[in-house]
Each structure stands twice: as C-alpha cells, then as structure tokens.
Structure 1
Amino acid sequence: MKFSAKDLVGSVQRLMATAQNGLEVIRFGGLTHDVESSPFEVVERRRMYRLRHYFPDDATPGRPVAVLVPPLMVNADIWDVNAEDGAVGILHRGGIDCWVVDFGSPASEEGGWERDLADHVLAVNSAIDTVCEATGSSVHLMGYSQGGMFAYQTSAYRYGKGVASIVTFGSPVDVVAGMPFGLPYGMVSEVAEFLADHVVTRLPITDSMVRIGFQLLDPVKTAKSRIDFLRQLHDREALLPKERQRRFLNNDGWVGYAGPAAADLLKQFVAHNRMMLGGFVIRDQPISLAELKCPILAFVGEVDDIGQPAAVRGIVRAAPNAEVYEASLVAGHFGLVAGSTATNHTWPLVRQWIDWMDGDQPLPFEIAPMAEDVASNRPRSAATRVVHTVGTLAEAGAGVGKALEGIASNTVRGSVELVGEAARALPRLTRLGMIQPHTRVSLGRLLAEQAQQAPLRDLFLFDDRVHTNAAVNVRIDNVVRGLISVGIRPATRVGVVMETRPSALATVAALSRLGAVAVLLAPGSELQRAIELTGIKTLVSDPENLRAAAATGTRVLVLGGGDARGLDVQQGENVIDLEQVDPTRVRLPAWYRPNPGLARELAFVLVTGTGDRLETKHITNHRWALSAIGTATSADLDRRDTVYCLAPLHHSSGLLVSLGGAIAGGSRIALARSLDPARFAEEVHRYGVTVVTYTWTMLRDILDAEVFPAGHRHPIRLFIGSGMPAGLWRRTTEQFDPARVLEFYASIEGDVVLANVTGAKAGCKGRPVPGTAKVELVAYDPITEQVLVDESGFARRCADNEVGLLIGKASDGVDLSDGGLRGVFTAGDAWMPTENLFRRDGDGDYWLVDRTDTVIRTPRGPVYTQPIVDALNDITAVDMEVAYGLPVGDHTIAVAAVSVRKGYRLESKDLTEALQVLDHHQRPDLVYSVEEIARSSSYRPSTRAVQAQGRPQPGPGTWWYNRASEFYEVLTDAEASEVLGD
C-alpha cells in the first residue's frame, strides 16, 4: 500500500493536533471552549442553599414559574450543562421563568457534612416560599433523580401550597418494585439499614467517591465514552460542543453527600420504602405522598438502571389523590436531563406540559396518564438496549444479561424474603421457648432494650408527631419517678383510666418498669364497681376522665393533656397532678431496680363485662410476652411495619396484640385517638400504616363510611385482631384488597394462642401459634358443664367437627387452684381450661362456637350462638347481630336479633338461604330486626342492650323457623302464641 505526501502531511497534522489537544486536557482538565453559562443571579443565600434566578433581566410579566431542584450528588449546573440547549435555556426561550435551588457542596459549606434529609426538604420548602412571594405565582416544581424525590416530599410537607404541578425526571418512588440492577429487596433492605446505622454517618461521601461510584454503575459506557473522546482528540471542532457536558460528567458535576442525609435516604426510602407506603418523617412530622393533589408529570427512562421504570411509576400508587402523567423516553438516567435526548424531547415536552397546564395548548401525545402496574410502555428488551447504545457488543451482552436476570429475579427475591422471615421468626421463637418462671421479661424491659439498641428509631406516632425510642424511654423514666414520689411501689395495683394517647402508653410502661400492676379500666365504664372488685386504691387518669375518676373518692394521679389541660376539678389530697412533679428532684429509693418483673409475676389486670358479669382477667408477664412475640411472629412484623392501633389499650387486643406485637416486632406504633373513619383514612397514608389492629366490629364503621372505596390504593397489608364476624371479614378483604385478615384467639388466663395465619377461612381462629401452649379439644356437655370421660376415666378427645372445650397445657409452676385441671389424659398432667367451646375441622383448624356460659339450652339440646352470628353476618343486608336464649314459658328458645344496613332490606328468603349452612337443630327459632344494636367500648355487639329493648313482636320484621318446610316465615299473631307463648 502506497502513501502519498498528502496522506503523510494529514497524519502528521492529526498527530500534532492530538498531542496539542491532549496536552491541554492534561494541563487544564479539558479543552478551552467559549460556551458560556446562562446568566443568573443569586437572589437568596441561606445556610442550606442558594437560590438562583436565571435570566434575571427578563421582566416579562405573567410568565409561568419553574423551580428546579438537583439531586444531592450532582451540581446545580445540571440544569445548564448544555447552555443554550440545556434545561433553563430551552425553558426560558419557551417563556418560562426559571429558578434553581443550589445546595452547594457539603465539603465547602459550614456544617455541610452534618446535613440530613429534612434539611434539604425544608430548604426547598423555603425556596418555594421565596419564589412565590417574589413572583406572586404558584410554581411548577421540577426535580431530577433525588431532586424529584425532594419535589414530592416538599409538596407533601406543605400540603401542595404554592405548587401548580410537579415534574420529575428518573425519580424513584417504589423501591421494592424497581431495585437497581434487579437486586432482591429483602437483601438490599437489610444492607441499607446496616449501612445507615454503622457506615455512612461515620464516613463522608466525597465528590470523588460519588464520581467513581456513578462511573462504576455503568463501566462499559464510561469506558466507551473515554475511548470515543480519545479517538476524536484530533478533531477539536467536533469535541467542543460536547466538552462542557464531558467535563461535567468526568469531574465538575459531582459533589459530596453528607452522611446523615445518606443515612436518612437508606433508612426511610430504601430499607422502609416510605416514599411508597407513606409515613416518612420530616422533623418529627409524618408525611405521605397521598397529600399530593396537584398534577404530576414523571419522565421515565426506559433504560435507566438507577431510576428504574417500575420504581418511578410507583408515584401513581403512592399519590392516589393526584392526576399522574408520564413521558417515557428511551434514555438512561443522565440522558433524561442532559444530552441530545433531553434537548430534543425532554425540555420541549416540559414546556408543552406547562402550556397545557395554563390551558393554552392541548396535551402532547407523548404525555399520557400513567397506568398502574405497567412495567413499561415499550418492551425493555435486549433489542431496546442495542438500539440505544449503538449496537456495541458489550452492551448487547449486558442487555441479554438483563433479560436472563428477569427470568430469575422473582425466584431469587422470593428466596431472600423467605430467608428474611425465617431469620426474624427464629430468634423470637427461641426467646419465647427460653422464658422460664424466673426469667425477667416485661413491657418495660422490651421498651428499654429497643431504646438501647436503636435510640433514634421511630417508636410511635400520634397526632402527626413522631416519637423516638429514646424520647419515649425518657418519658417513661420520668413517669416512674413521678409514681415513686407519690408512694407507688412494686406489686402495687394501680388503676389506669385513660383514652388511647401517648401518656396512657407511658403510664402502662412506667408501671411495668416499676414492677407495679396496671389495672386497665375502660373510660366510661363502671369505675366504682371495678375499684371494689379489684381493690385498687390509686387511679391514674388523663384530664378527660378526671371528673369521673375523682367522683369515685379514690386517690387520682393526673397525667397527660399537654399545655391546654383544662383541669376542672378542685385539687386536694385525692387529686395529684403528676405533670407538676419535677423528675430531676425525685430521689430514687434504694429498693428501685428498673424492669424487675419476672415471667411468673402479675403484670396487668383487665376488667371486662358489665353489671353482674363484671370480672377480672389476670395477665402475667409471661402471658403478655407470649401474645406479643406470638403476634409479631404470626404477622411477620418488623421495623418496616407501622401498626395502627385502633383497639383501645384497655382491651386485650390493644394490650396484647397491638402494643405487644408492635414492640416485639420492632415496628412503629400509630396510636388512634378514637374510631374516626375520616381521620383513619388520612392517617393510614400519612403514617404509612401497613398493619391495622381491630376488635370485634370496629372495621364496620370504616367500611360503611366508604372513606376507602373498593380499588382505592393504600399501604395496608394486614388487619390483625379478634372477634371479627365472618361477613365483615369478607367485606374487609374485598374493600381493602390485597390486604388480608389475621384473626387471633387468646385465652386471657393460660397460654393458649390461636392464629389464622393464612386468612383463607373467614371466621376461623386458626391453629396454635408456635411457642404457645399445646391445646386439646375435650368432649364437653354444655348442659351439665362437665368434661366427658372414656372408660378409663380420662377425658375423651373430640373427633373432627365435634364441639368440645378448648384446654391448654399448663406451664410449670402455674397455680391450678382456680379452675385448673389435673389428670386429664394421664395421671398428674396439668391443663388450664378456656371458657370457650370450639370445633376442629379436618384440616386441623379451630372454629369458635360459643362461650360455656352463653350456650342456649333448648328442649332439643344445646344451640351454639357463634355459628348463628357468623351465618347472619354473611347476609349483605345485615349490619350487626346477636344470638341469645329467650325464656318462653317453661323452656327456652334460640333467637337472633339483627340490625339492617342503611339502604338495604332483609327478607325471609335471605334468612332461609343464609341459615341453611347450619344443622337443622342449630338454627334459631326466631329472627327479628331491631333499629340499632348498641356496642360495648370494645365494639362488641351488646346482647344485653338488645334484650333491654323488649321481647320480639309479631310483624313484618320478625321471622320464625318453620321446621316442617325448613323456611323462615314472617311471624303473625296466630303463630306468636305458639312460638313466643303469648
């Protein structure tokens, strides 16, 4: 091959140009270019940010206003990296007034390395206020990557005030749906929590670390861009237009990341996914994206491995009250906001979005309403990547790898999640199995352990405030000192009559820490009779219940209520305001040891029932721990959960399941003041509630209020509690799909705990929780109230579906003098009977059929009330129901009273069809409708209240069971004398 002189000269010139340009790059970091930044002035300087106003000389009135927010690790110049072809240049030419938030670099700002996430959200919040005041206009808030997360968070924090719309670029919301590179979320969550707690707060993330980290995310592309640069190093004119962008990516564009901010990101939005679920915290205030109501446009990069499409599209579920749109581009993470794709597509679309918002232009076809559960508008395949990356072999291989990864990801992710559940359950069950009568275990002790292990972790939320483990622990210790100052000692029984509030939790925990016994009383209950029954001499009350407590003549300690307490009772010897006690002045006595409670010792006394059925239930520390750890295990509660405590603390479900399960699981507790459906709907989103606890018919009020219509997006995964009727159970799972119900049964005295973990059988109580007492079902005659025995004299075990008495194996050292059983199956064995009758189906699941004292004793034999209640509750028209025995002459008949849902009508055929599921002799003799069925403080329908309304009367709202035809018929005067004995 021959070379001409011209070729030789060209090669020499190319070599010299390469050397000259290379030397310039080595000396100055890049090529000298004449591309200037867009003009701006800094109109506000604060500790956290500088506010830039671009093109400040343009005073065109009435322009739309945009505030642009960069991510933490990228310089604010990202919005101007292409100068005239960059964001602010294009938007300005489109008639938009551009303002940019510049966080600066933590390395050069005072206190920069101490910044946390809330600092940045509050900075954007302040900037919005400034721009709104300066322009007199609402702003279009725009954010790239984490800057888009800030846009969402800030808008929610300020409840949308001053924000016309939100525009984000590659901003992830649902981390679980789109982990970078398809990593299993369970594994990433654990790693993120570890890094947040032990690494990033101690190790500054410098700009060089950020730059290298981003380059390592896509090493092939990084290497290719450098090779392309070197190959064109001789052609200065070809390189200059891209030089500013190259220098930005290679060096100038990266800034450090403060450790506390990184820890917040990892904890709240990676480990706990709170952008999606709600309940992320800004300065002790819980926030949810459900607060967003303005229109949202999310740009989705179809080949973005950082802001994965599925994660970005999570906004449509996280913000159910907003209109959410998307623009999908074949671009990577950086390409969404800088480069040719951004110049030609992103920023023109943003300008058209704002024009559409102003009502001047139609919505461009490239912008469409975001669909839920859509992975991508375009197939994210190897072919897409090949086109996007100009067909390089390396990147084609990466695309194939991505496709293969998709096949295996679900399997890997599922395996990791199962391992995670096992890792959580095993230590709990091990601890449960190691509890002996002399083991120190109590509510106060578990709270102290959490405060020591994770002092800054959120513990509970109340009235839109978040309280940490450390803060709660200090409050408990202060209450302990207050109690000691007024003479409360270990083993003292102290009544607690308080609404559900932080002070109630602190009081119960403080009594536990002191070793005293909390006697929990329902507000509005029969206090005087309860005091006489329990023998307590001191009550702790909140201001709301002070008058009723003081009226009993018992000494009352007042706690809680904040500044506006409204104490309206004359304070004297019997009323002591504990809030006035200075804990620092209380000298702890020599006998005080925190959390002395042993497993065998009494921890709580619950007072249940009314009138002549008022009774006490004694709960030991072991019994409380059994339910707490059992609940946490069965519900798989962990630190990612927020448990909404609808059940009051004075109820066993509130004390043992809600409070106990959340603490044992390390979950956040959201305390509800009362059952208010509207407030419930707001707080579920704002707190990021994943688990809701209930008692009996609580959820009926929420369903009837329709604050969560079917199909409404929500973060709830589970409802846990006890006593929910089967029909209400089905309504709940239909309306809150895909959430399920976890129904518990727990004997108050004894260690029997059943749980319907799968939730597959509505109304079923499930099976024994691992680590709790062994259970048996023994044959029982409810008429004579005797356990039935076989030829040997031992108790006879029930066959499948035979009704019997549920008993639990007694723990060592348990006092059997009060109703315990010995010699049940072998000589000397020890068992504790429950007060309930069950049947066990062929699968081994247990079904409650009645209490031993509410079985209806009819001439045809015993009739059980629970199956009647469950069958009636399954009728769509029925609201609530009770079943009881009605004396008629010299015998008793089985009757059921029902209330009918508003807008529905109950007919004979409904009753006939619903009650066919019961055996012939178990069907009620009479069913009648009442206008309303009152409920107890625990939301249990009150049979006594129905009976107090009088006997059922003939008429169109009363039906009798015709055993000849097996139909329910309207009771007329003619049949009334026979059925009712009238």
Structure 2
Amino acid sequence: MDLYVVSVLFASVLIGPLAIRTFCPYLWKDVQYFGVLLRILVKFASRRRRRPLFSVLDRFLEQSAARGDKPFIVFGEDTLSYSVTDARSNKVANALRAHPGFKAGDTVALFMGNEPAFLITWLALAKLGSPVALLNHNIRTKSLLHCFSCCGAKVLISAPELKEAVEDVLPTLMEQGVTVLLMTTHCDTPGIESFSDKVEEAPDEPLPRSLRSHITFKSPAVYIYTSGTTGLPKAAVVNQNRLLIALAILSSNGVTSSDVIYVNLPLYHTAGFLIGFIGSIETGSTIVLKRKFSTSQFWDDCRKHGVTVVQYIGEVMRYLCSTAKRDNDKEHKVRLAIGNGIRADIWREFLSRFGNIKVQEFYASTEGNVGFVNYAGKIGAIGRVNYFHRKLFPFTLIKYDTERDEIVRDANGLCVESPRGETGLLVSKITDIAPFVGYAQNKDQTERKKLRDVVKKGDLYFNSGDLMRIDEENFIYFQDRVGDTFRWKGENVATTEVSDILTISDCLTEANVYGVQVPGHEGRVGMAAATVMEGAEFDGSKIYNHVVSYLPSYARPRFIRIQNAVEVTGTFKQLKVQLVEESFDPGRIRDPLYILDDKEKSYVPLTEQIYSSITSGHIKL
C-alpha cells in the first residue's frame, strides 16, 4: 500500500506539470497576472487612504527627493534631473501665481508639442491645483476654439512656433477675456503676452500645499481630447482618481527605475502622457523625449541614450520594419516595447529583425473603463480574458449589425451576447471600481456612450465602440471600430468633423466621409463621397487649399469621389457600407475619382496607374 501511494505521488510529480502544460498552458501566467492585479489594487487602495490627498504630483515630489540628481528628461543635448525639473516647475508656478490673469485652481490649456516645457508646465499647474487641457498642436481655427472652450479654460499657454495658430483665433479669445501666454521672452502681438521672461525672473521656491487643498479625487486633473462618433473632438475628463489608478497600473508594466524610456508619441495623447510621462514619474525612470517620431533616427537615438523601453502604435512598428535592413539592427539595449495596434505579421517581423524584445501589447481608451494586457505574449492578441479580470471589470461582447449600424437586441429588449469566436461589440459594466466619467460640457455625448439593459433590465454599461473577438483559448483580438470614426496615422478621425469642413467650402454641398483600407498600411485612410454645388465644377486646387487650412494632415481625405447625390437611409443616415467596400478602386467606380497630391497642391484624377502603384506599395500614403 505504501509503495502504491509513493508511486502515485511520484507519478503526480512527474505527470502533473506536463498535464498542466498540455491542457492549461497559460495557467501559470494567469495566476501571475492575478498576483499583478492584487498588487495594483493594494497599491491603489493604500494611496487612496493617504491624507492629505495623494496625487501624481506627490509621487513626483517623492521621486525628486529620493532621486534628485538622476536624469528625468533628456531632450536633444539637454538633460534635466528630477530636482532641476522640480525647481523649474516651481518657477513656472510662481510666475503664473503672480500673473493678474490667473488664480490657483483655474483651468489652463497647453498648446505645445513634445518639449520639456510641456512636462514642466504641467507639473507647475499641478502644484497650483489647476486642471490642464492638453490641446492637439495640429488643430486650427474652429477645432482649436472648440477644444479650448469646452474645458472652461481661462488661460492658454502656447509654444512660440504656434503663434500664428493662436493669432487666428485671438479675437475670439480676447472677447472671452482669456489670458494668452507665449513661451517666449518677447511678443509684439497685442493680446498675447510673453511668458518665458516672467518665468526666468520668478523664484524657484516650493509652492504651499494649501494652493491645491480644494482638490478631491473627483476633481478633473487632465482633459485629453478624443475624436468620437460625431462632431468635433470631445474633452475626456481624467480626474484625480483615474490618474491614481493609472499610477498603480503603471507600477506593474515591467518598467523599473533603472530604465530609460523613449517617448516620441504626442504628449497630448493618452499613450505619450500617461505611459510615457506619468509612468516615468511612478517608476522613477528617465524619459528621452523626442519632438516627433522619426524612422531614420529611432534606433540611433536608442543607442545614443541607452534606451531600454520604447512606446509604439501599430504605425510606428510598421514604419520601423519598412526601413532598409542594417547590420546593427540588433545592436541596442531595448528590452521592452509597450503599446497597441500592432499587426501579427509586423509583430513577428519586428522580433525577427530587431531581436529579443518583449512586446507588451495592451488595449485601453482615454475615457473607457476596461482594458486588457497581453501578458501571455500571444502574437496578434490585445489581451487575455480570465475569470479574475472579468470579476473585477465585468464586460461582454454583444452582437452588432454593421450594415444597419446598430446593436442587436432580443425580444425582451436585452442585448445578445456574441458566441465565442464571433465578432462582437465590447461593452463594460459601469461600477465604482470601473467608473465612466464622461466628457467635459457634453452631456449628450456622455450619455451616448452609456448603454442600458445589456445583460438584464436596468444595468448600465460603457459602449467602447470597438469590435472584438475572443478565441477558444480566451485571447481577445481587436477587429474594427464601429460608427463614424476611423483611425489613421495613429489618430482617431471623426468623419462628421471632416464632413463639416468639406461642406463649408465654396464647391461641395454634401460629403459622406469614411475610412478605407490600403494594402500595407495600418488603419483606414480618409475618403469622401461628395456632391458638387449646382452650376459649379470640382476645383481640386481650391478643395486642397481648403482642407489643408482646416484639417491636420492625418484627417485630410486622401480620396474624393464625386456623386450626383449622397445616399442616405430612411432615417437620413449616410450609407457607407457599399462605399467602403468599393474603396478607391477606379475599376469598380464609375464616378469621378480624385486623389490628394501634395506636390501638385491639388486633388488630381485617380488613374488606374496610380491605383496600381498604391496597391503594389510603390506609392506610400
């Protein structure tokens, strides 16, 4: 009997691990991830209990005290330590505090590109208890005014190179009594004040905590703009509680204090601001800040600065893989790449070409209340579904009719869950742990993102607007966006915003804007099916100058299709499905087709030859 028991135990020891690897290959990683979730929750809860209120700024001050001499920001040939950054942000805060057009707690809009002044000014405003609106430095005129106004900002701080964009909207800003500060030592434009000279003269003494004593966890910390399904960009409210959650999550993303993180994504975006900037504050790491992504300089910068962690979006990885191969492709210290949107084929090519780099793919949205992490490293997936995650953040995939552009409901009015393996719309339950704050001064759009009667009557879910699929091994994959938004060059483009711009031209009356896929490119490029004003002719040069004046490059329709009438449904929704299927193929389309040509500064006829060059990869968009 004893021999039998010993034999069984011995066999279990030998066979048990083999059986687990065979039938539950991801069990150990699931358990490890559960441990990570617990650590995140414990860290968040302990900081939530601290008094006075603990914020990202307090974490930065802790790091500054502990790592004062350590490099925090590397920008070109300049290096700023934690203590120098702290002192400079004190000077900015004291200069603002002394300005008659500002009082502590006022909302301030930052209109800057990637530069140390962006990070320093944000820290300064945090010390003054002021929420900060992060304006996209590509927007102009109508969009700029809208984004500035919807967050209730009283002060605009701009980089000097954006002076002309500010001057375009200055009369309106002056009417509203807005204080406009330019980060320069001299400005001769009435209504715009120089600010750098005031900063230089200001003391670098610390700011009293009492200036931010009014802040609660529900107080807005940052406004980050996101293009939604309709209209102009929306200001997603990121409150202090959400930033505190982000801190806790970022403490477990694999980055440590010894890492050097390369930040070349825009700081006005969630990825650049939260993962790059806020993440480095949490971990005490060093930021190598780049004005913008450069394919040719990427790896040279990494080698020069000893970069160990890089950020990406799908386009970044594709651009890197499309460059000519070099003998030193694997000569670098990069060990971790964090981001989202990478295609499976590009993922494999990236690893093959640039070496053993851990790719940490994740899914999240600025205003959303659920996220996924591909902790198991399954190529192509955005994350893995497990019991623990689903209990903490309840979500489901529901059936969505893409042709009708609507959610499918059963006879009882409840949503229908998508079977495993089939594509469905991701919706996540709104709870105390997973709240949805919404958009600033936009109750209508906030309500549109809420979905009721999903699983049972009276429940409330967040509508992500993203189509997903879960496979038999519980990996989840991003499929597409629904509604009137598409993604191009790493940016979300609201089709109605582009349509509005096109129809205020002197040439077009209606415009149906949508995204179409292009071989070899991530996302969808913009295309418009439009009608020309009666008695007028399509003027390619005029439309080109119009869209360049009003829209950033990623939002400009690359193709325009001229129709006699824009087709709509019985409820006057523009039909897009067939247009998207026909794409920009002149072989399938009898309507006149045009392509944006930056060299000609015009929309020129799209020929079969140009189409072939695009689809074969000879012409890159």
- The DSSP-based 3-state class of the residue aligned with 1:530 is helix
1:957 equivalent in structure 2: 611
| Alpha-carbon distance between aligned partners in 2 of 1:649 and 1:588, rounded to the nearest angstrom | 25
Aligned counterpart, 1:839? 469
Asked whether 1:472 is paired with 2:126, we answer no
Residue in structure 1 matching 2:113, options 496, 499, 502: 499
Contact 1:628 1:657 in 2 (8 A): no
Task: Give the superposition deviation at 1:570.
Answer: 0.7
Query: Equivalent residue for 2:182?
Result: 558
Structure 1 segment 297-312 matched on structure 2, within 5 A: none
Kindly state the Cα deviation for residue 715 of structure 1 after the two structures are TM-superposed. 0.5
* Residue type of the alignment partner of 2:284: G
Deviation at 1:923, TM superposition (A): 10
- Alignment CA distance shift 1:728-1:579 (3 Å): farther
SS in 1 for 2:399: strand
**Alpha-carbon distance in structure 2 between the residues aligned to 1:527 and 1:956:** 33
Match of 2:270 in 1: 652
Please tell me whether the aligned partners of residues 111 and 157 of structure 2 are also in contact (alpha carbons under 8 angstroms).
yes
Matches within 5 A, 1:221-240: none
Letter in 2 for 1:514: L
- Residues of 1 paired with 2:466 and 2:596: CA distance? 19
Residue 521 (str. 1) matches residue 145 (str. 2): no
Go from structure 1 to structure 2 and tell me whether the alpha carbon gap of 1:579 and 1:700 turns closer, same or farther (over 3 Å shift): farther
Deviation at 1:459, TM superposition (A): 2.3
- Deviation of residue 656 (structure 1)? 1.9
Within the candidate set 724, 739, 744, 2:362 is matched to 744
Q: Which residues in structure 2 correspond to 1:606-625 (within 5 Å)?
A: 606-609=224-227, 612-625=231-244
Q: Aligned partners of 1:742, 1:452: CA distance in 2, in Å?
A: 30
* Identity among equivalent pairs (%): 21
Unaligned runs of 5+ in 2: 1-29, 174-178, 487-513, 532-556, 560-577, 587-594, 617-621
Query: 1:545 & 1:531 partners in 2: Cα distance?
Result: 14
- In the TM superposition, what is the alpha-carbon distance from 1:426 to its structure 2 partner? 5.7
- Paired AA for residue 366 in structure 2: I
| Matching of residues 851-866 of structure 1 within 5 Å | 851-854=481-484
Distance 1:950 1:880 in 2: 24
- Structure-2 change in CA distance of 1:531 and 1:950 (3 Å): same
Whether contact under 8 Å (2:69, 2:82) holds in the other structure is: yes
Contact 1:743 1:755 in 2 (8 A): yes
Distance in 2 (CA, whole Å) between partners of 1:767 and 1:885 is: 35
Q: Does structure 1 residue 545 correspond to structure 2 residue 158?
A: no
Q: TM-score, normalised by structure 1?
A: 0.43
CA deviation profile, 1:258-284 (whole Å, cap 9, x unmatched): xxxxxxxxxxxxxxxxxxxxxxxxxxx
Match of 1:396 in 2: none
Q: Secondary structure at the residue paired with 1:539?
A: strand
Distance across 1 between alignment mates of 2:361 and 2:206 = 46
What is the count of residue pairs matched by the alignment?
480
The CA deviation at 1:543 is 2.5
Deviation at 1:449, TM superposition (A): 2.4
State the AA in 2 paired with 1:556. Answer: V
Contact 1:645 1:654 in 2 (8 A): yes
Distance 2:246 2:401 in 1: 30
8 Å CA contact 1:642, 1:670 repeated in 2: yes
Q: Is the 8 A contact 2:106 2:154 kept in 1?
A: no
Indicate how the Cα distance of structure 1 residues 640 and 703 shifts in structure 2: closer, same or farther if over 3 A, else same.
Answer: same
Quick one: which amino acid aligns to residue 619 of structure 1? V
Q: Evaluate the alpha carbon distance shift between residue 680 and residue 840 of structure 1 in structure 2; reply closer, same or farther with a 3 A threshold.
A: same
Residues 23-56 of structure 1 deviation map (CA, whole Å, 9 limit, x = unaligned): xxxxxxxxxxxxxxxxxxxxxxxxxxxxxxxxxx
Q: Deviations over 1:558-603 (max 9, x none)?
A: 33xxxxx6x6741555313144243339996895137x64332222
Most deviating of 662-671 and 596-605: 596-605
Deviations 1:918-938 (A, max 9, x none): xxx999455659xxxxxxxxx
Report the alpha carbon displacement of residue 662 of structure 1 after superposing the two structures with TM.
2.4
The 8 Å contact of residues 246 and 274 in structure 2, kept in 1 or not, is answered as yes
Q: Does 1:430 align with 2:430?
A: no
Task: Find the counterpart in structure 2 of residue 663 from structure 1.
Answer: 281
1:661 offset after TM fit, Å? 2.4
After superposition, the Cα gap between the structure-2 partners of 1:646 and 1:767, relative to the gap in structure 1 and judged at 3 Å, is farther
Q: 1:647 to 1:431 in 2, by over 3 A?
A: same
Change (3 A) 1:767 1:616: farther
- List per-residue Cα deviations over 1:862-899 (Å, max 9, x = no partner): xxx99x95xx65xxxx356636787699xxxxxxx999
**Residues 520-919 of structure 1: pairs in structure 2 closer than 5 A:** 520-526=134-140, 528-535=142-149, 536-553=153-170, 554=173, 555-559=179-183, 569-570=187-188, 572-581=190-199, 582-584=201-203, 592-593=211-212, 597-609=215-227, 612-633=231-252, 635-706=253-324, 709=327, 711-762=329-380, 764=382, 766-767=384-385, 773-812=393-432, 818-819=446-447, 820-854=450-484, 869=517, 878=520, 882=524
Following the alignment from structure 1 to structure 2, what is the Cα–Cα distance between the partners of residues 495 and 531? 11
Counterpart residue type for residue 180 of structure 2: V
Aligned-residue offset at 1:690: 0.9
Q: Is there any run of 5+ residues in structure 1 with no aligned partner, and where?
A: 1-417, 560-564, 857-864, 890-896, 900-920, 930-942, 960-967, 970-982
Deviation at 1:650, TM superposition (A): 0.9
* Contact map agreement 1:460 1:468 (CA 8 A) in 2: yes
Residue 508 to residue 829, structure 1, CA distance change in 2 (3 Å): same
1:630–1:588: structure 2 CA closer, same or farther, 3 Å change rule? closer
Q: Is the 8 A contact 1:710 1:735 kept in 2?
A: no
1:928/1:715 CA distance change after superposition, 3 Å: farther
| C-alpha separation in 1, matches of 2:66 and 2:91 | 20
Q: Provide Cα deviations, 1:160-211, integer angstroms capped at 9, x if missing partner.
A: xxxxxxxxxxxxxxxxxxxxxxxxxxxxxxxxxxxxxxxxxxxxxxxxxxxx
Aligned equivalents of 1:746, 1:419: Cα separation in 2 = 22
What's the offset of the Cα at 1:757?
A: 2.9
Kept in 2, the 8 Å contact 1:546–1:569? The answer is no
Q: Residue 443 of structure 1 is aligned with which of 43, 51, 56?
A: 56
Q: CA deviation at 1:484?
A: 1.8
CA distance in 1, matches of 2:423, 2:32: 39
Q: Give the Cα separation in 2 of the matches to 1:423 and 1:844.
A: 19
2:146 aligned counterpart, secondary structure: helix
Structure-2 separation of matches of 1:461 and 1:522 = 22
Q: Give SS of 1:650's match.
A: coil
Cα gap change, 1:618 to 1:497, in 2 (>3 Å) = same
Q: Distance in 1 between matches of 2:69 and 2:377?
A: 35
CA distance in 2, matches of 1:680, 1:513: 34
Distance 2:94 2:385 in 1: 43
Give the secondary-structure state (helix, strand or coil) at the position aligned to 1:592: helix
Summarize the alignment of residues 111-190 of structure 1 with structure 2, pairs less than 5 Å apart. none
Find out whether 1:452 has 2:65 as its counterpart: yes
Alignment of structure 1 residues 34-53 onto 2, 5 Å: none
Residues of 1 paired with 2:40 and 2:71: CA distance?
21
Amino acid at match of 1:742: Q
What is the deviation of 1:638? 0.9
CA–CA separation in structure 2 for the residues paired with 1:716 and 1:464: 20
Paired residue secondary structure (1:750): coil
Distance (whole Å) between structure 2 residues aligned to residue 472 and residue 422 of structure 1: 36
Alpha-carbon offset, residue 692 of structure 1 = 0.6
2: CA distance, partners of 1:501 / 1:880: 27
Distance verdict in 2 for CA 1:944–1:719, change over 3 Å? farther
Write the deviation string for residues 774-795 of structure 1: whole angstroms up to 9, x where unpaired.
3322223334444333454433
Q: In 2, distance between residues paired with 1:646 and 1:438?
A: 34
CA–CA separation in structure 2 for the residues paired with 1:568 and 1:551? 19
